[in-house]
C-alpha cells in the first residue's frame, strides 16, 4: 500500500511511521477516506487534540460532513420547473419572457431525443408559439413542405383507399382554404409534426432566452416547502453530485409518472384503461413505393384481420404504427408484433423493415384531484392522462402551462395577489375533465368501428365496393371531428374563475369540431384581421389589453385604476373591415391568455374594483 503524501499522526511525515500500522493510511488505501482528505483529517486531529488513529470513526463522520458540503451544489432561482418536455419548455420560455428567472431540471442528456409521440400541434398551441416567437421555426420543421397532411382510410396501408380527409400541406398551410381543415379563424392553423422534431426547436429557443437555464442530467428526488419557498433536493445523474435548488415556486411537468404529483398528495381518478396500443417506430425505405394511393400524414388500415394506424414521421422512410389491441388481448404481447405490422401494412413475409423502438402505451382517462399544494403546481401529463385523440395530450398540457405562467408571473412581478394563483386549478381542472371525456368518447366510437369492419370490405365486385363506400363515409364522418377540431381549440371557456367579471350571459356550448365565437366573459377572444393587415393577437399587448371599438368611449378611469395597482394594461383601438358579430360591445377586456375578462359598452362605476378582481386581490388587498 502506498503511503499518502501527507499523513503525520505518528511523526512529521510518511518516513517516520509504518503505513500498515496507521489507521489513516489504511483508510486511504481501502477507499474509506479519500487520500485527498488526509490533510483535513490531520488538521481536525490537531484542532480537537486527539490522536488520529484512536478517533478515526469520528474523523470519518467529520469528513463525510465536510465532503457533503463540498460536493453539494446550491442554486437559487425564482421558479423551478421539473421536466424539459414540450410543456415544461414552453412554460419556461413564457415565464422568462415575462421577466421571471426560471430553471428547468431535466434527466435526459442535452439533445437526447424524446419518445416518438405527439404528431400534432393544435392551432391554439401554434398561436402561443407565434407570441413566443417560435411559430416560424416550428412550421419549418417536421415533414417535407410538400408532403400531404391528409388522413387516409384504407383496407391496408398498401391496399384500397376508403376515404380521405384533406388537410393542407405545410407549403400551402396559410393559403389552402379548401376542405374541412382550411377554415381556421386564426393567424396560425394547426401543424403536423412529431415530437422528435418539435422538441429541438423548443430547446434551441429556450437556450437563447435570457433568464432561462436548463440543467440536463439532473433528477429531483424530493423537496420541502414553507411560507418562504421551496427547497428541492436533486442529484447529478452522471457525477453523483448532490444539487439543492431553492426557489419561490416549483412546477412539476414531469409526465404521467410524476414524482411531483405523488409528493403533493394529488390522486388520479377516472378510467384506468380505455385501450391498449402496441406501437412500433420503424424504418422501411421501400414502403411508400408499394402503396397504391398517394402519401398521407396518417393512414388508417381497416380489415377483419387487424386494424391500425400508420403516421409518417420523416415523410420518406420512418413511420410510427399503432396496432390497437382488442378487448380480449390483455397485454402488449397478446399479438405477434411482426404479424400485426405486416397485416396492417398489407405486405408479405419478404418485406424488410427495421424496428427502431417499441412505443407501446395504454390509453387512459385520468385527472388529478388537485393541481397545486401551496407553492408547488403540476402541469400537463403530471395532472391529466387520456387517449391522445385530436392530439390533445401535449396541447392541453401547453394550455395548462400558459394559464399558470401569466398568473404566476403576475404574482411574482408584484401586481397579482394570492388569488391569482388560486385561479389555475379553478380554471384548468374543469376544462381537463371536459376535454378528457370528449377524447374518451371518441376513442370508444373508433374502437367500435375497428371491431365492426364488414367481412367483405376487401372483396371485388359491387358488394365489396358498396361495403367500402359505406365504411369510408362512416370513417370520414367520425374522424373529421378529431382532425379538424375547431371546438377543442377555440370553444372552451372558463365559467367559474375568480379573476373574471361575469355578466350573467352563459357561454355557448361547443363540441369537438364545432364552436360559436363569443365575447361572453371566460371565452376566447375571437380573432380578426385589422385594417393594417395585422392579426389582432399580434397587435395586443403581452398582459391585459382593452379592445375599444368606439373611440368616443372614455377609458381613462380604467387606465388610472390599473396604473394605481401596477397592472399592465394596453388600450387597442380596433379598426377592421370585417369585425365578427360576436363583438357586440364597445369595450372587451382581454387577459394575457386571450380569454375575455370583462366587456361592456362603458366602464363600470368602480374601475378599481374591476382591476382588483383581475389581479386576484379584493377590497384593496395588496399583492406581494
Beta-strand relationship, 587-590 and 569-573:
unpaired
Most confident of 19-33, 444-458, 575-589: 575-589
Distance, CA of 571 to CA of 546 (rounded, Å): 5
- Which of 21-35, 278-292, 454-468 has the lowest average pLDDT? 21-35
User: What tens digit of pLDDT does each residue of 191-245 get?
Assistant: 999 999 999 999 999 999 999 999 999 999 999 999 999 999 999 999 999 999 9
* pLDDT above 60 for 405: yes
Distance, CA of 414 to CA of 624 (rounded, Å): 5
Residue 4: predicted pLDDT: 38
Distance, CA of 165 to CA of 581 (rounded, Å): 30
Q: Which residue, 203, 274, 180, is CA-closest to 480?
A: 180
* pLDDT above 60 for 38: no
**What is the rounded average pLDDT of the residues 421-428?**
96
User: What tens digit of pLDDT does each residue of 605-618 get?
Assistant: 999 999 999 999 86
Beta-strand relationship, 151-154 and 298-301:
parallel
Q: Which residue, 487, 162, 433, is CA-closest to 301?
A: 162
Q: How confident is the model at residue 176 (pLDDT cuts 50, 70, 90)?
A: very high
The CATH class of 491-624 is alpha beta
Rounded to an integer, what is the distance from CA 330 to the centroid of its chain? 29
Look over the chain and give the mean of its residue pLDDT values, rounded to a whole number.
Answer: 89
Residue 51: predicted pLDDT: 60
Cell numbers 373529421: residue: 480
* pLDDT above 60 for 44: no
Rounded to an integer, what is the distance from CA 101 to the centroid of its chain? 20
- Angle, to 10 degrees, between the axis of helix 56-71 and the axis of helix 38-48? 120
* pLDDT above 50 for 296: yes
* pLDDT above 50 for 16: no
Angle at 423 between CA 422 and CA 428, to 5 degrees: 120
Q: Which residue, 133, 145, 130, is CA-closest to 186?
A: 130
* pLDDT above 70 for 45: no
Residue 219: predicted pLDDT: 98
Distance, CA of 555 to CA of 512 (rounded, Å): 37
The burial class, CB within 10 Å (0-12 / 13-18 / 19+), for 253 is buried
The DSSP string of 214-266 is EEETEEEEEEEE-SS-EEEEEEETTT--EEEEEESEEEE---TT-HHHHHTT-
The strand pairing partners of 270, in sequence order, are 366
pTM over 0.85: yes
| Cβ contact 276:362 at 8 Å | yes
| Cβ contact 605:557 at 8 Å | no
User: What tens digit of pLDDT does each residue of 310-351 get?
Assistant: 999 999 999 999 999 988 898 898 999 999 999 999 999 999
Look at 29 and 442; give whichever has higher pLDDT: 442
Secondary structure letter of residue 108 according to DSSP: S
* Furthest C-alpha separation in the chain: 104
Q: Which residue, 397, 389, 390, is CA-closest to 371?
A: 397
**What is the rounded average pLDDT of the residues 264-288?**
93
Asked if CATH classification 3.30.9 holds for the domain at 274-361+447-486, the reply, yes or no, is yes
Q: How confident is the model at residue 39 (pLDDT cuts 50, 70, 90)?
A: low
Residue 28: predicted pLDDT: 42
Q: In what order do the strands lie in the sheet with 569-573?
A: 569-573, 544-548, 587-590, 596-600
* pLDDT above 80 for 391: no
* pLDDT above 80 for 486: yes
Distance, CA of 323 to CA of 345 (rounded, Å): 11
Secondary structure letter of residue 381 according to DSSP: G
- Which of 8-17, 174-183, 398-407 has the lowest average pLDDT? 8-17
Residue 580: predicted pLDDT: 95
Residue 442: predicted pLDDT: 78
Beta-strand relationship, 587-590 and 544-548:
antiparallel
* pLDDT above 90 for 78: yes
| Cβ contact 101:77 at 8 Å | yes
Q: What percent of the chain has pLDDT over 70?
A: 87
Q: How confident is the model at residue 55 (pLDDT cuts 50, 70, 90)?
A: low
Q: Which residue, 169, 471, 405, 148, is CA-closest to 291?
A: 148
Look at 117 and 243; give whichever has higher pLDDT: 243
**What is the rounded average pLDDT of the residues 91-100?**
98
* pLDDT above 70 for 68: no
**CATH number for the segment(s) 76-145+169-268+364-432:** 3.50.50.60
Number of Cβ within a 10 Å radius of residue 454 = 17
User: What tens digit of pLDDT does each residue of 487-509 get?
Assistant: 889 999 999 999 999 999 999 99
Residue 150: predicted pLDDT: 96
**What is the rounded average pLDDT of the residues 60-80?**
70
Q: Which residue, 527, 583, 488, is CA-closest to 186?
A: 527
- Which of 93-102, 385-394, 416-425, 590-599 has the lowest average pLDDT? 385-394
Residue 9: predicted pLDDT: 39
Most confident of 202-206, 274-278, 468-472: 202-206
**What is the rounded average pLDDT of the residues 387-405?**
85
Amino acid at each position: 500500500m502506498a503511503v499518502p503524501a501527507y499523513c503525520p499522526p505518528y511523526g512529521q511525515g510518511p518516513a517516520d511511521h509504518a503505513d500498515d500500522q496507521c489507521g489513516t493510511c489504511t483508510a486511504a488505501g481501502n477507499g474509506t477516506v479519500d487520500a485527498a482528505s488526509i490533510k483535513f483529517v490531520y488538521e481536525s486531529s490537531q484542532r480537537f487534540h486527539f490522536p488520529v488513529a484512536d478517533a478515526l470513526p469520528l474523523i470519518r463522520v467529520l469528513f463525510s460532513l465536510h465532503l457533503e458540503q463540498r460536493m453539494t451544489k446550491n442554486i437559487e432561482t425564482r421558479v423551478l420547473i421539473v421536466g424539459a418536455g414540450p410543456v415544461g419548455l414552453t412554460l419556461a420560455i413564457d415565464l422568462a419572457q415575462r421577466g421571471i428567472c426560471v430553471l428547468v431540471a431535466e434527466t435526459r442528456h442535452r439533445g437526447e431525443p424524446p419518445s416518438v409521440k405527439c404528431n400534432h400541434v393544435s392551432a391554439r398551441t401554434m398561436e402561443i408559439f407565434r407570441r413566443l416567437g417560435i411559430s416560424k421555426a416550428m412550421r419549418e420543421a417536421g415533414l417535407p413542405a410538400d408532403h400531404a397532411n391528409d388522413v387516409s382510410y384504407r383496407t391496408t396501408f398498401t391496399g384500397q383507399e376508403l376515404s380521405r380527409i384533406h388537410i393542407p400541406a405545410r407549403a400551402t398551410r396559410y393559403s389552402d382554404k379548401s376542405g374541412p381543415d382550411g377554415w381556421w379563424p386564426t393567424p396560425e392553423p394547426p401543424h403536423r409534426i412529431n415530437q422528435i422534431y418539435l422538441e429541438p426547436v423548443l430547446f434551441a429557443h429556450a437556450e437563447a432566452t435570457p433568464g432561462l437555464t436548463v440543467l440536463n442530467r439532473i433528477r429531483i428526488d424530493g423537496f420541502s416547502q414553507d411560507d418562504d419557498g421551496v427547497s428541492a433536493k436533486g442529484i447529478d445523474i452522471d457525477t453523483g453530485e448532490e444539487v439543492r435548488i431553492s426557489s419561490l415556486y416549483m412546477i412539476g411537468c414531469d409526465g404521467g409518472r410524476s414524482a411531483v404529483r405523488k409528493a403533493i398528495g394529488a390522486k388520479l381518478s377516472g378510467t384506468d384503461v380505455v385501450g391498449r396500443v402496441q406501437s412500433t417506430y420503424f424504418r422501411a425505405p421501400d414502403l411508400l413505393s408499394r402503396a397504391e394511393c398517394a402519401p398521407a400524414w396518417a393512414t388508417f388500415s381497416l380489415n377483419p384481420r387487424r386494424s391500425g394506424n400508420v403516421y409518417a414521421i420523416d415523410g420518406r422512410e420512418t413511420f410510427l404504427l399503432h396496432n390497437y389491441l382488442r378487448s380480449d388481448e390483455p397485454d402488449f404481447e397478446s399479438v405477434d408484433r411482426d404479424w400485426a405490422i405486416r397485416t396492417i401494412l398489407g405486405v408479405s413475409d419478404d418485406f424488410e423493415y427495421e424496428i427502431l423502438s417499441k412505443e407501446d402505451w395504454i390509453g387512459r382517462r385520468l385527472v388529478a384531484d388537485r393541481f397545486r399544494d401551496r407553492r408547488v403546481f403540476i402541469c400537463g401529463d403530471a395532472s391529466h392522462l387520456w387517449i391522445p385523440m385530436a392530439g390533445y395530450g401535449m396541447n392541453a398540457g401547453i394550455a395548462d402551462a400558459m394559464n399558470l405562467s401569466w398568473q404566476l408571473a403576475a404574482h411574482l412581478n408584484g401586481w397579482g395577489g394570492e388569488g391569482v394563483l388560486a385561479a389555475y386549478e379553478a380554471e384548468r381542472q374543469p376544462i381537463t375533465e371536459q376535454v378528457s371525456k370528449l377524447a374518451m368518447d371518441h376513442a370508444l366510437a373508433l374502437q367500435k368501428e375497428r371491431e365492426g369492419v364488414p367481412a367483405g370490405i376487401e372483396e371485388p365486385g359491387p358488394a365489396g365496393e358498396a361495403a367500402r363506400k359505406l365504411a369510408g363515409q362512416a370513417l370520414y364522418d367520425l374522424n373529421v371531428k378529431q382532425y379538424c377540431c375547431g371546438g377543442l381549440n377555440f370553444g372552451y371557456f372558463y365559467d367559474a374563475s375568480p379573476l373574471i367579471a361575469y355578466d350573467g350571459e352563459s357561454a355557448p356550448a361547443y363540441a369537438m369540431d364545432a364552436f360559436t365565437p363569443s365575447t361572453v366573459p371566460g371565452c376566447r377572444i375571437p380573432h380578426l384581421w385589422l385594417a393594417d393587415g395585422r392579426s389582432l393577437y399580434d397587435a395586443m399587448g403581452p398582459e391585459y389589453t382593452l379592445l375599444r371599438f368606439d373611440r368616443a368611449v372614455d377609458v381613462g378611469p380604467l387606465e388610472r385604476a390599473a396604473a394605481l395597482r401596477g397592472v399592465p394594461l394596453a388600450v387597442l383601438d380596433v379598426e377592421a373591415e370585417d369585425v365578427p358579430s360576436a363583438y357586440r360591445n364597445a369595450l372587451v377586456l382581454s387577459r394575457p391568455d386571450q380569454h375575455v375578462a370583462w366587456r361592456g359598452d362603458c366602464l363600470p362605476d368602480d374601475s378599481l374594483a374591476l382591476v382588483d378582481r383581475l389581479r386576484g386581490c379584493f377590497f384593496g388587498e395588496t399583492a406581494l
